[in-house]
C-alpha cells in the first residue's frame, strides 16, 4: 500500500524565474557535460602550463621563449576560464529564456510516474520521461534535460511540504533510474 502512495501523481503550481532557469541549467550542465566544468578546464590549462615549464629545461637558450610563452598562454587561459565561464553560461541561459517566453508563465505541473503534464494559459504539454536524457535534483528544484517540447523541464520544490517533496523526488528517481543525479549543496 505504501508503494501505491509513492506513485500517486504530484500536482504543483509554479512560476519560474530567471534565477531558477540559471540554477537548473547549471546543475544539468554539471552532469551532462563533465569536460566543460570550470575546474576540469582549469586543470587542463594548468597541466599544459606545467608541461611547458618542464620543457624549458630541455630547450636551448635560443628556443627558451617558446615554452615560456605557451605556459603563460595556458595560465592566462585558466584565469579567463575561472572568471568568465560562469558569466558566459549565465548569458547563454538568459538568451535561451528570452527566446521562450512561455516558459515563465504561471504553470500547473502534474508529475506522474512516467510523464509530466504542464498546463498554462497558452499551452498544454505532455512530456514522457523516456524522452529526457537526465534528471538533476538540487535543494530547490528538480530539472530534467532533453525533452522534445521543452528542453529544460523544471519543477520547483520551494514552498512544498516535506512529504510532497519526497514523493516528487521519488517519482523522478523511479522514472530516471541511473540517469537521476543529486547535486550536493555547497556551503
Predicted local confidence at residue 52, as pLDDT:
93
- Residues 111 and 171 sit within 8 Å (Cβ to Cβ): yes
Given pLDDT bands bounded at 50, 70 and 90, which one contains residue 5?
low
Residue 154: all three cell numbers together? 523544471
Q: Cα–Cα distance between 157 and 167 in angstroms, integer?
A: 11
Domain boundaries defined on the chain: 2-32+98-182, 35-94
> What are the tens digits of pLDDT across the range 61-72?
888 889 999 999
Name the CATH architecture for the domain at 2-32+98-182.
Answer: Roll (2.30)
Of 72, 76, 80, 74, the residue nearest 38 (C-alpha): 80
Identify any residues that bridge with 137 across adjacent strands, giving them in sequence order.
Answer: 142, 182
Helices (H), the chain: 2-6, 18-32, 38-55, 65-98, 162-176
% of the chain beyond a pLDDT of 70: 96
What is the enclosing helix (H) or strand (E) of 126?
A: strand 124-128
**What is the pLDDT, as a whole number, of residue 147?**
83
Average pLDDT in the 72-79 region?
Answer: 95
Classify the phi-psi angles of 155: left when phi > 0, otherwise alpha if psi is within -120 to 50, otherwise beta.
Answer: beta
Helix, strand counts (H, E) of the chain: 5, 8
Pairing of strands 107-111, 134-137: unpaired
Decide: helix, strand or coil at residue 80: helix
Identify the pLDDT of residue 187. Answer: 45
Contact 82, 42 (CB under 8 A): yes
Give the pLDDT band (50/70/90) at residue 105: confident
> pLDDT tens for residues 110-135?
999 889 999 999 889 999 999 999 99
Mean pLDDT of the chain: 88
Tens-digit pLDDT profile for residues 19-70: 999 999 999 998 988 898 899 999 999 999 999 999 888 887 888 889 999 9
Query: 3-state secondary structure string, 31-54?
Result: HHCHHHCHHHHHHHHHHHHHHHHH
At 97, the pLDDT band (50, 70, 90 cuts) reads confident
Mean pLDDT of 171-185: 88
Amino acid at each position: 500500500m505504501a508503494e501505491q502512495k509513492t506513485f500517486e501523481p504530484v500536482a504543483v503550481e509554479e512560476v519560474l524565474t530567471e534565477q531558477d532557469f540559471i540554477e537548473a541549467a547549471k546543475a544539468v550542465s554539471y552532469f551532462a557535460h563533465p569536460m566543460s566544468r570550470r575546474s576540469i578546464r582549469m586543470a587542463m590549462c594548468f597541466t599544459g602550463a606545467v608541461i611547458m615549464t618542464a620543457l624549458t629545461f630541455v630547450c636551448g637558450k635560443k628556443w627558451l621563449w617558446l615554452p615560456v610563452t605557451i605556459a603563460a598562454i595556458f595560465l592566462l587561459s585558466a584565469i579567463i576560464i575561472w572568471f568568465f565561464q560562469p558569466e558566459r553560461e549565465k548569458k547563454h541561459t538568459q538568451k535561451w529564456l528570452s527566446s521562450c517566453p512561455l516558459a515563465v508563465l504561471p504553470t500547473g505541473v502534474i508529475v506522474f510516474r512516467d510523464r509530466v503534464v504542464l498546463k498554462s494559459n497558452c499551452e498544454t504539454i505532455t512530456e514522457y520521461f523516456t524522452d529526457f536524457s537526465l534528471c538533476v535534483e538540487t535543494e530547490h528544484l528538480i530539472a530534467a534535460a532533453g525533452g522534445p517540447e521543452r528542453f529544460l523541464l523544471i519543477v520547483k520544490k520551494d514552498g512544498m511540504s516535506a512529504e510532497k517533496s519526497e514523493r516528487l523526488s521519488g517519482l523522478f528517481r523511479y522514472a530516471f533510474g541511473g540517469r537521476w543525479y543529486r547535486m550536493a549543496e555547497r556551503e
